[in-house]
A and B are shown apart, each in its own frame.
Chain A
Amino acid sequence: MSMKKILLFFCMIFLPLVLAQEADSTGTNPPLTDSTATTATAPDTTVTESAEQPAVDTPVTQEKPQAETAPTKVFDPSFRDLSNLSPKEQRLEKIYRNLEYNTTAFNDLKKTWIVTDPVYVREIYNRFVVKNALTIHGVKPSAEVLAQKSKDIYDGNVFVELRKRYYDDEIEILRFFTESKLITKDSSDYFFDEIRDYVFIKSILGDDMYQDLKKQFYALNDLTKTTYDNKYAYNYDIYFHIFDPELMFWNTTTDQRNKYLVSLIGRWGNDYVSLPGWYYPDYIVGVKVTYIDYLINNRPNNTYIIEMGTGIQARQPVLGIEADEISKRLFHTGASLYFKAQGNPVKLFMEDMLDIDLTIEGMLSLTQYKTKDFNLGYLTQFYSQRNHFTFFAKKKELVNFEDIGALGVGLGISSYDIYHFLLDPDQLKLTDLETNNKGKFKNNLLAEVSLAGEGGLLAHNLTTLFSYDYTESYGFLGFKMFFMLNNTIGFDFRYFTSYRFSTKPLPFYRSSSYLVFSPVIRINY
């Protein structure tokens, strides 16, 4: 009886070792972990290493490998737990993975791709099967497990992910993974351990196949990350936009990291009086001064803007998409002064004040053209918009929806005048056909909702602007869409459509809808 117990005891110990030996005898390569993963989780090991060198004791007895915290296997189950290795194996593994020049900082920038050619995947897979180089958690898979995994290969669900080294063209990681065809979420399963080190990968694949794999002459998906940066730079900023061009050409920085920027600007259109883009008779040219209260590299902290300019006659392009005839446009009839101020003035004194931007914008006509300035020899009449004023308050970030953007809301009022002139070539001056000055001014209530997102590759701004002219009982609903890719190229689209609460028709100088658009190009260094 005792003999049986002894035999049973040794069988329980002996058998697992035999199985483990079988795994090792086929030459499996224990997969390596990222040095950073190990570093982050094994600070004690490095402390132990430094105590080894003076050779006070034998390294085997002195080396006290600490139990390393295993990397999170949920994301990458191929990482091997070094605490299962002997001290000797641990040291050798660490030397092996620290021989190469460390390029951990560039891991996400290294060329990465996935081989999707199912026949080529089989070729690669077979090389590893023949050389017995595949492991699962450091252990060679049995024949049954291998056969089961091979079924995924037959179904064409297995792909090979490869990553090249940063400074040269060699493949540093190769790993097999499978994905479900019906993907509702990421179903990647790295069902074999990843294989590292190009020398080892080349020895398994053979030189010819390895070189062929590097050339990428097969079906693949390129996963290499594209780097981009869209942070604003302050050397100069060339912003091409038909309606809002800007050229920032000078800047200075004060002691408290405040910045002053000076820009030349152009402004064509006024959304707050529902005359967007080229439907506005004046093209404003002027100067803009921007004050940034304490510069943070990611974005300006608080920005205050002052703009001054003058209007010049603008020629309205005819694109054939206008809702109404060209005769309903407005005309430029004199020199004017444009001004705009924007910012949160209260925040200058009270830091905790709500982050609301106030905008005061207006244009005052200073002169009126004479009849001869129009160079017309016949009697005619036309409309002109000469003065306007807007007050608007906007909270840009009412609610933050992370990647979608920030919801902003704004309220305001605007007022503009409309002159009805008669041009008689025999008269010196234009004749104002509306003698009642009060009737000239139209007052609008404004409400705006916007969804804006910046940062990342794509910046966007989707705005709905509601305006209601309570003097004329009609209004406009404006939809504005702005997109910018990599802070370099974009598109701006604005559409305004009218609505009425009475049977009174729209004024003659108004179109039922306005559609304007502009490409956007930015060069910012």
Chain B
Amino acid sequence: MKKSKVIAGILLTSLVFSYCTFGQTIVRRTYSKIEKKLAEDKNYLDVYSAMFQTSQVKLDGLSNIPRTNDKPPFNFSAAETNTYEIIFMKENAEFDSLVVLEVKETVDKAASTGDFFGTSSSEQSKEVNMVLTFQDVQELYFNHPEFYDALYKLTEHLIDLNEPVKLLGLKVDEQVNKSRGITSKNNQDFLNFQLSNSNHHYPKVAADTQKKSRRSRGQTPTTTATDFKIDASFGDVSFFYKDLDLGYSTVSGEVNMGAKVLNVQPWQAMSLTAGIRTLVTLSGSSQNLLEDFIIDAKLMGRTRLNTSKLVKSLPFVFVSETPKLNVGSGFILDLSATRAYGLPFFNFYLATGATQSFAPSVKYVDKNGDLVACFTPQQWESSMSFYWNSSEEMTLRFRMDLGVAGYSVEKINYTTGGPITQIYNQVQPTVSLYMNFAPKNVDFFGSTFRLFDNQLTVKLWMKLLEFSTDHSFRFETSYISAPMMRPQREWENPDGTSFVTIRYRYGF
């Protein structure tokens, strides 16, 4: 009987021992995983820290704090060089209150050495020690709750004094994703586009993204850093001087060799256009470019200029034949306006001139053997612009112009001596797609695709150089295709034409 009791006792003891060992092993390994996680994955942990010095707080119940792994009990040091940091986890889905995780001690050795010169302490002079590990703190929770409770209350007190420091390294506010691209409800997209593509001065607005512009109450334009702004290429020049900034309006000048609406390259249009451009903002008491009604208007005069022989020898214009369409003298009105009453952005272009008295630069022999000349006295275009961006970062910016355009062509027959007759005057739809690539709000690349009168115009530009933030150079090229899916008209070039230029921008 005694033997059986002894054996039973041994078995019972073994049973209890193995159960305890089994449980402790799991717990020990979990401690190890968590401590490793706290040490290696700091950037992704949703934990906070509260810092204090012992002189700032009362440490009731926090002396001789027992620790694990045979470490001696811990006491907070009263030295001024010692700063303590409590790492904790705030309440979450599974915890209704904060959870204290670790306690660190930072010793400022530079201050402790009593440096005479009072040199400011660097990171190397600071020593960081883990005085209470995660295991130490949790064992307090389970086995010495009075110490844990004191730590808990201390942490709560520190939170009341100062906002705890978030140790999460993720910038979640900067990584907010949306599934669709965005379009701005105000003038932001319009201004972004004009700043990149317009050859005239546009005041810059300090609003990078839609989010920031929504928060700001008003966007005042930033002051220009240079007195002049110059945009020059082989086909056009524009200039602006700071004294022409009238506050509610700016005035700049432009000279160009092109002809909008017509599918012709600069210099091929055989005309010179010059005039002024004004940017007017209609605002209330304070100017807010993002919300104001903005009108960008050009008033230009155009005169004919015989470049028919020159255009074939210019190295940057590629045309297969001498141009045949004379562009008449007259005046030009080119308007762009921002959204009024919820309508889209609106563009209107009108070039008109005399239709009766005309001296052509170019005459040619038509298919009937007659000496004739064709000229276009009027061109117009009316369109609406729609903007959108691929994402909130506005790296890819799009604009689409949809509208109608038309031009008239009149013909003089010098052989028969008949009157000027109109041979063409049609209204046709026009579609233009613009795409700008602006990584981190820096203009780098732009493209335009325009379809009008069965001809496709492709324009590309790319920033080549930029130095001292005032000077930039762009490479630009333009290609106009031959007429597609219709017969060629007598004044048209049978092949496609190209134009290449370097654009210099100063002060933009």
Q: How far is the CB of A35 from chain B (nearest CB, A)?
A: 5
12 contacts between A and B (CB under 8 A): A13-B15, A50-B97, A55-B149, A88-B23, A95-B138, A98-B89, A99-B38, A165-B44, A168-B170, A199-B36, A199-B40, A250-B342
Task: List residues of B whose CB falls within 8 A of some A CB.
Answer: 3-4, 7-8, 11-12, 14-15, 18-19, 21-23, 25-27, 29-31, 33-34, 36-38, 40-41, 43-47, 89, 92-97, 99, 101, 138, 141-143, 145-146, 148-149, 152, 168, 170, 172, 175, 179-183, 185, 342-344, 384, 386, 388, 400, 402, 485
Q: A17-B18, A29-B33, A98-B94 are in contact. Are A238 and B400 (CB under 8 A)?
A: yes
Q: How far is the CB of B59 from chain A (nearest CB, A)?
A: 16
Q: Are B12 and A10 in contact (CB under 8 A)?
A: yes
Give the nearest-CB partner of B141 in chain A: A59
Residues of chain A within 8 A (CB-CB) of B149 are: 53-55
Q: Are A49 and B7 in contact (CB under 8 A)?
A: no
- Partner of B41 from A53, A100, A238 at Cβ < 8 Å: A100
Bound together, the chains give a CA A203 to CA B35 distance in angstroms of 13
Give the nearest-CB partner of B47 in chain A: A99
- Other CB < 8 Å A-B pairs besides A99-B37, A236-B386, 15 of them? A14-B15, A20-B22, A27-B29, A45-B94, A49-B94, A57-B145, A59-B145, A94-B94, A95-B34, A95-B101, A98-B94, A167-B44, A200-B36, A249-B343, A317-B485
- Partner of B14 from A14, A45, A170 at Cβ < 8 Å: A14
Bound together, the chains give a CA A38 to CA B92 distance in angstroms of 13
Q: Are A55 and B181 in contact (CB under 8 A)?
A: no
0/1 interface trace, chain A 25-41, chain B, CB 8 Å (1 if under): 10101100001101100
Size band of the interface chain A makes with B = 35 or more
> Interface with B: A1-9, A119-127, A424-432, which one?
A1-9
Bound together, the chains give a CA A57 to CA B144 distance in angstroms of 10
Q: Are B179 and A101 in contact (CB under 8 A)?
A: no
Residues of chain A within 8 A (CB-CB) of B44 are: 100-101, 165, 167-168, 170
Q: Are B170 and A93 in contact (CB under 8 A)?
A: no
Q: Does A86 contact B (CB under 8 A)?
A: yes
Task: List residues of A whose CB falls within 8 A of some B CB.
Answer: 2-3, 6-7, 10, 13-14, 17-18, 20-21, 24-25, 27, 29-30, 35-36, 38-39, 42, 45-47, 49-50, 52-55, 57-60, 86, 88-89, 91-102, 165, 167-168, 170, 197-200, 203, 227-229, 235-236, 238, 247, 249-252, 317, 523, 525
Q: How far is the CB of A87 from chain B (nearest CB, A)?
A: 8
Q: Majority SS of interface residues in chain B?
A: helix
Q: How far is the CB of B208 from chain A (nearest CB, A)?
A: 20
Bound together, the chains give a CA A197 to CA B31 distance in angstroms of 14
Residues of chain B within 8 A (CB-CB) of A21 are: 18, 21-22, 25
Q: Are A229 and B179 in contact (CB under 8 A)?
A: yes
Q: Are B30 and A523 in contact (CB under 8 A)?
A: no
Bound together, the chains give a CA A381 to CA B104 distance in angstroms of 99
Residues of chain A within 8 A (CB-CB) of B8 are: 6, 10
Q: Are A7 and B7 in contact (CB under 8 A)?
A: yes
Give the nearest-CB partner of B5 in chain A: A6
Q: Are A101 and B172 in contact (CB under 8 A)?
A: yes
Q: Are A94 and B179 in contact (CB under 8 A)?
A: no
Q: Are A100 and B96 in contact (CB under 8 A)?
A: no
Give the nearest-CB partner of A2 in chain B: B4
Bound together, the chains give a CA A199 to CA B30 distance in angstroms of 13
Residues of chain A within 8 A (CB-CB) of B180 are: 229, 525
Bound together, the chains give a CA A25 to CA B24 distance in angstroms of 11
Q: Are B27 and A525 in contact (CB under 8 A)?
A: no
Q: Are B31 and A92 in contact (CB under 8 A)?
A: yes
Q: A101-B170, A168-B43 are in contact. Are A49 and B93 (CB under 8 A)?
A: no
Q: Are A523 and B94 in contact (CB under 8 A)?
A: no
